[in-house]
Structure 1
Amino acid sequence: MKINALTGISPAVISELKKSKPRTIELQSAHNIITLTDVLPGDHVFMTDIDPDDLSVGDPGIIVEVLSIGINMKRTIEYVHPYYCEERERMSVRLKVKYVDKTFAKCVEGKDWSKPTVVDIVRSCVYSAG
């Protein structure tokens, strides 16, 4: 089963999700935002604490179900009076997810910076009832 993969997720976040309560996380890394551009509520996503450059066959992670997703642009303006004004924009994704199961990657695709990271995972026969 091929699904999109979020990489470099904090082990503390993964541990919290394993408690089977829905949680909202905010992601700001470009590779994860690109991966989430074609994800919709109801889709499953693979999450791992492995860095995107190091993700390979056999790496462990969890499967989560996307409950809601929102992509936001935040603008900040920095002033250094009176000569300088800098405007910055930062894109982020707020993602509400619920834990489904633990798994590992059988195959990894799309590790280029401009493509979504996709993994083929081992499908579980038994899912969490929580």
Structure 2
Amino acid sequence: MIYTSLTGLSRHVIKELLAARVRTVEIRSPNNFIAIYDHQPGDRLFVTDSSAMDVVPGTTGLITTIKALQIITHRTIQSGEYYYEERESQAARLQLQLVGVGRVRRITSIEPGTPLTLDVDEVRYCGAR
């Protein structure tokens, strides 16, 4: 099945998602932010700790469902005697629920500025290699 991928998540987050089955993450990476921007609760994502450039056929990760999605804006203000600086950045908070474990069959799209989409097989058993 074809999934949009979130890449480069920490192994700690992956382990917590496996243990608790539900985990809220904050996405700040531009690649991952673009990937989830058009998604809604109920959509499925493939989540891996590999970076986007390191994803190859055979890469493993988790298949998840978005339970909640919130786009937030962080505003930071710095000022001094001679300057005033204001910065804004956007992030997304996702509550993910574990569906299962998956393995990449093939990369379907890796265009710059678009989400990384992958053809992923759900792994339902332990296979010896």
TM (norm. structure 2) is 0.89
**Is residue 2:102 matched to residue 1:103?**
yes
Aligned residues with identical type, % of pairs: 33
Instruction: Say how many residue pairs are matched.
Output: 125
What CA distance in whole angstroms lies between the structure 2 residues aligned with 1:43 and 1:124?
19
Once the two structures are superposed, residues 80-121 of structure 1 have per-residue CA deviations (whole angstroms, 9 ceiling, x without a partner) of x21112211111110001111111111123333410111110
Which residue of structure 2 aligns with residue 86 of structure 1?
85
Which residue of structure 1 aligns with residue 48 of structure 2?
48
Moved over 6 A (4+): none
Q: CA deviation at 1:42?
A: 0.8
Q: CA deviation at 1:53?
A: 1.6
Q: CA deviation at 1:125?
A: 5.5
Which ranges of structure 2 fall in alignment gaps of 5 or more residues?
none
Going from structure 1 to structure 2, the CA distance change for 1:110 and 1:78 (only over 3 Å counts) comes to farther
What is the root-mean-square deviation in Å for CA atoms of aligned residues? Answer: 1.5
More displaced 10-residue stretch of structure 1: 111-120 or 2-11: 111-120
Q: 1:1-130 maps to which residues of 2 (within 5 A)?
A: 1-79=1-79, 81-124=80-123
Which ranges of structure 1 fall in alignment gaps of 5 or more residues?
none
